[in-house]
Structure 1
């Protein structure tokens, strides 16, 4: 269950991260602006995916939003910290262009490392009846 929750989180984060990095890099933005955009979009898409699944279960928007915020904030924050930390620390990754293998390789590796680090966070939350343990009840 923790790996599934993390994969769900990774999907939203990856969409936001990749989109943010591509947009910022393509527009020639600085590293900080690009990273902030990627983080904002990662949270947006992460919350949106959870909201969508809870709303499909017939839950009102306000309740679904509260559940999504409670379930996803810590895992997305950890995932973003690790993901962006790996990219920031990888020599040359922040300066790579969209056509560089380094850009895509560092991004893929950073998301993989973030998945490995965030899975225990989700396991801890689920073990306490929090996070995706709450979301899961709406899937039945």
Structure 2
């Protein structure tokens, strides 16, 4: 697979979609339920992995792959990317003063969350490019589709 920045951006956007759904949902639920910051972050991380893996598995399953194999492909394709994104975006949200304590109607809450996802995207793209160039990460999905 040719490892271009465009391929890395596409892979990162795919991963960001699942992460963003989980991250936003986790933060919204945590904020709405007035959970402790650690609980909100933990919920966001769990949901980011769930949605990230689910989106990858959805495409692999559509190709006629068994559920167990699709899960293995998703784990191989997305684990590092999601982990890097989650470290970055949660670090940003946690370091913006007052962001975690701002309510759902606060511009600070949404701006910090949006900024955290942008930072995660920008810094995870080179990681994904490096992994794809070595046949790892999202390259696993592409290679799997080519061979089946």
Give TM class, smaller chain: over 0.9
**Counterpart check, 1:8 vs 2:14:** yes
The residue aligned with 1:69 is 75
- What is the CA distance between 1:138 and its match in structure 2? 4.4
Normalising by structure 1, report the TM-score: 0.97
Runs of 4+ in 1 over 3 A off after TM superposition: 137-140
- How many residue pairs match? The answer is 140
* Alignment equivalent of 1:18, drawn from 5, 24, 27: 24
Normalising by structure 2, report the TM-score: 0.92
The residue aligned with 1:56 is 62
Contact persistence 1:53–1:139 (CA under 8 A): no
- What is the CA distance between 1:133 and its match in structure 2? 1.1
Distance 2:80 2:139 in 1: 14
Structure 1 runs not aligned, ≥5 long = none
Structure 2 runs not aligned, ≥5 long = 1-6
Q: Deviations over 1:18-68 (max 9, x none)?
A: 000001110111111111001100000000000000000111111111111
- What is the CA distance between 1:137 and its match in structure 2? 3.2
RMSD of aligned alpha carbons:
0.9
**Counterpart check, 1:37 vs 2:25:** no
